[in-house]
Amino acid sequence: MRQPPMRDVTYRALFCDLLTDRVIDALPLTEVEFDDFIGKPGQLRATVPLPDEALARRARAALRPGRTAVWLERGSDIWWGGILWTSTPAGDERGRLSVQIQAGTFDSYLEHRFLSQDLSFPREAEPALPPVDQFEIVRGLVRHAQEQPGGDIGITFGTERSQVATRRSYAWTDLARVRELIDQLAAMENGFEWRIHCFRDPDTGARVKRLQLGHPTIRTATRADIVLDRPGPVLTYSLPADSTVQANVWVTRGESDNRDQASESRPQMSAVQVAEEDLKADWPRLEGSSDLSGVSEKALLDSSAAAELQRARRPQVIPEVTIRMDGRITPALIGATVLLRIRDGWHRDGADARYRVVGLTVTPPARGKGETAKLYLEEA
């Protein structure tokens, strides 16, 4: 089916002060590519052309790595937001100047923050209090990071609850990064997914950085599954199955809990988790392991090992499809379900399967090339 022609799309990059979100400048970009994911930071890669001294002067003022926020607008909508981390001015043999930039989504900021004091959930001063919902622990960690001088980058919160309550204590002396603590909590049994969702508030027009949480996964509701066909809007696809990370036996290693400095220090280990049903079904024994820094409590190590085993029991399949942008695909699709239908020589009888979108890479239109998006999928 022939796709209707797309209207011209316009991308604009706003460069703002990270702490106040005050707009510093809007600069042209070329060679743009940006992505966003559930579970890991996304990136924006682009080039700022500098055809004259006036634009170079503006770029020097706006491109301040580590303290400049980057917002990418498509039309009137926010499609990406993050922090400028690298800026590389360069000149070629013909005297042309440009700046290559790389930015990370706002959750990358939490990789640059550690705790400023010991934290406990519930508070150590009130040990009789019941366990805390794990989403409130995440909000507490981010809130703590933003309460420190110079630490508030404007991440906002919802009121979601996972209905999974737990206790956690974190020591300042571990110097653990805030993102690492959140990821460790998310990777436990009955864990969750999280990301920083960027959008424009429909009522105020303000740019928003919202902590998005989902248990056990982030799910975005749509009226109906988006159908992706090949032949059709799907230009390319790959359906890799990777058994190199498969395991049916798992053990997690933590820190030593030995406080006697005169005796040998050995790390605390989880109980060995075994998928007995896989071995009974004649799967070969495949073993995996992981490390949890700053954790010595055996119950937490057991929980982590059980969760890792569930994720590793089958070959990892991470489908990717590249599609023409036809008006249905936006960053808001992350977490939504799509129906992928393939008809080709490999799938002679057809392959129809539902997947959840867990990541998105967009390449805006350029000279001679249309706008495309690569979707990263997992079985729904």
Tell me the pLDDT tens digit for each residue of 161-174. Answer: 999 999 999 999 98
Q: C-alpha angle 118/120/121, rounded to 5°?
A: 155
Q: Does pLDDT of 141 surpass 60? A: yes
Instruction: Report residue 322: phi and psi, to 5°.
Output: -110, 130
pLDDT band for 6, please (50, 70, 90 cuts): very low
Q: Does pLDDT of 253 surpass 90? A: yes
Distance CA 343, CA 75 (A): 34
- pLDDT attached to residue 241: 83
Distance CA 166, CA 168 (A): 7
Question: Is 258:266 a contact under the CB 8 Å cutoff?
Answer: yes
How would CATH label the architecture of 11-110? Beta Barrel (2.40)
The average pLDDT across 339-344 equals: 91
SS3 state of residue 135: helix
Distance CA 125, CA 139 (A): 20
Cβ contacts of 320 within 8 Å, gap of 6 or more: 237, 238, 374, 375, 376, 377
Instruction: Report residue 22: phi and psi, to 5°.
Output: -70, 130
Tell me the pLDDT tens digit for each residue of 260-296. Answer: 566 677 889 999 999 999 999 999 999 999 998 878 8
SS (H, E, C) 52-64: CHHHHHHHHHHCC
Q: Does pLDDT of 379 surpass 80? A: yes
Question: Exposed, middle or buried, 90 (CB in 10 Å: 0-12/13-18/19+)?
Answer: exposed
Percent of the chain surpassing pLDDT 70: 95
Pick the CATH number of 113-214 from 1.10.10, 3.55.50, 2.60.40, 3.30.460: 3.55.50
Neighbour tally for 315: CB within 10 Å? 12
Q: Does pLDDT of 5 surpass 70? A: no
Provide the residue type at 90 as one letter: A
Tell me the pLDDT tens digit for each residue of 65-95. Answer: 999 999 999 988 999 999 999 999 999 888 8
- pLDDT attached to residue 8: 65
Distance CA 135, CA 157 (A): 10
Provide the residue type at 228 as one letter: L
The packing angle between helices 178-186 and 134-147, to 10°, is 180
Please check whether the domain covering 226-240+318-379 is classified as CATH 2.30.300.10: yes
- pLDDT attached to residue 239: 87
Q: How many residues does the chain have?
A: 380
- pLDDT attached to residue 263: 63
Q: Does pLDDT of 2 surpass 90? A: no
- Cα–Cα distance list, 251 to 189, 268, 298, 302 (Å): 14, 11, 11, 8
Cβ contacts of 87 within 8 Å, gap of 6 or more: 63, 64, 65, 99, 100, 101
DSSP readout, 249-303?
Answer: EEEEEEEE----TTS---EEEPPPEE-HHHHHTTPPP-EEEEE-TT---HHHHHH
Q: Flag the least confident range among 14-18, 79-83, 244-248, 344-348.
A: 344-348
Distance CA 296, CA 258 (A): 9
Higher pLDDT pick, 292 / 349: 292
Question: Is 340:317 a contact under the CB 8 Å cutoff?
Answer: no
The average pLDDT across 89-113 equals: 95
Q: Flag the least confident range among 20-24, 104-108, 239-243, 353-357.
A: 239-243
pLDDT band for 3, please (50, 70, 90 cuts): very low
The average pLDDT across 34-44 equals: 96
Higher pLDDT pick, 213 / 92: 213
Residue 103 CB-half CA count within 13 A: 31
Tell me if the bond preceding 315 is cis, omega within 30° of 0.
no
Q: C-alpha angle 62/63/66, rounded to 5°?
A: 120
Q: Mean pLDDT across the chain, nearest whole number?
A: 91
pLDDT band for 33, please (50, 70, 90 cuts): very high
- pLDDT attached to residue 296: 85
Q: Does pLDDT of 4 surpass 60? A: no
Distance CA 15, CA 83 (A): 9
